[in-house]
Amino acid sequence: MDIDISLVGMEKGSQYETIITSLCDDGSKNAAPFGTIAYSKDELMFRIFKTSLTASNIYNRRKFIVNITNNAKIFTLSTIGKLPKEYFTDDKEAILNNCDAYLKCEVETLKEAYKKHDPVKSDGKSYIIKAKVIEIVKNKPCPQIVNRGLYMLIESLVNYTRIDIVDDKLKEYYLDRFSEDQRVIKKVGTKNDKESIEILKNVLEDKGYEIKKFEP
């Protein structure tokens, strides 16, 4: 079977919000949200902190599942570590019930990485994982994959419609917000997201607003 992650809406070079599920040593199932980079048509890349249970499970088993869903409750419960077992299928593999699609993955490379100036206080140590997608299962014809870029673009557009009619304090907040939205979109957004935020930036500058340079 020819694997092509574009079948689930992934665009090479963009980052998506997914739920990674994995099996623990005791056989229990773990779920956690992670940013997932579309590396090639059949490969994904992740950065996972070494202290996480997901990192331990992937290190030990060298395989895991990437679940695609836009269910807000699943993201919330997975983030706080309280996703009930009822959210998983009865299969021995750690697969989420009712997800739009899921990708079975096997580790190709797992390298230790250290980011000296990481704002996240976890000693900066993590794994950079490149994984091969060995199977794609679509439960819905058109999986709804989450990309933060689009949501941040929408927020920027909403703020743009208001920026000319608010006080100076709120104007400053909107411009700061725009700089942060632009930073994230440039990092994780799709090509369309990046082009769109650049259009909006040019319009704001034409209006005389100063856009702060973002840190990559």
**Homologous superfamily, domain 5-138:** Electron Transport, Fmn-binding Protein; Chain A (2.30.110.10)
pLDDT tops 80 at residue 167:
yes
Neighbours of 83 (CB within 10 A): 22
Q: Rounded to an integer, what distance in angstroms lies between the CA atom of residue 132 and that of residue 106?
A: 5
Neighbours of 192 (CB within 10 A): 14
3 SS3 class? coil
Note the pLDDT of residue 115: 63
Tokens (6 digits) for 107: 């580790």
* Distance (Å) of CA 93 to CA 2, 41, 122, 137, 147: 22, 24, 29, 13, 26
Q: Rounded to an integer, what distance in angstroms lies between the CA atom of residue 195 and that of residue 172?
A: 23
Residue-averaged pLDDT of the chain: 92
Tokens (6 digits) for 113: 């990485």
Q: Distance from CA of residue 131 to its chain's centroid? A: 15
20 SS3 class? strand
Note the pLDDT of residue 212: 83
Q: Distance from CA of residue 145 to its chain's centroid? A: 9
Which regions of the chain carry the CATH code 1.20.58? Answer: 148-206
Architecture of domain 148-206 in CATH? Up-down Bundle (1.20)
pLDDT tops 60 at residue 119:
no
Note the pLDDT of residue 144: 94
Tokens (6 digits) for 60: 């030990």
Angle value at C-alpha 26, between 25 and 31, nearest 5 degrees: 75
Note the pLDDT of residue 143: 96
Note the pLDDT of residue 118: 54
Which regions of the chain carry the CATH code 2.30.110.10? Answer: 5-138
Between strands 29-40 and 125-138, the pairing is unpaired
Query: Tens digit of pLDDT for each residue in 151-163?
Result: 999 999 999 999 9
Positive or negative: CA dihedral 9, 3, 62, 93: positive
Instruction: List 43's β-bridge partners, or say none.
Output: 40, 132
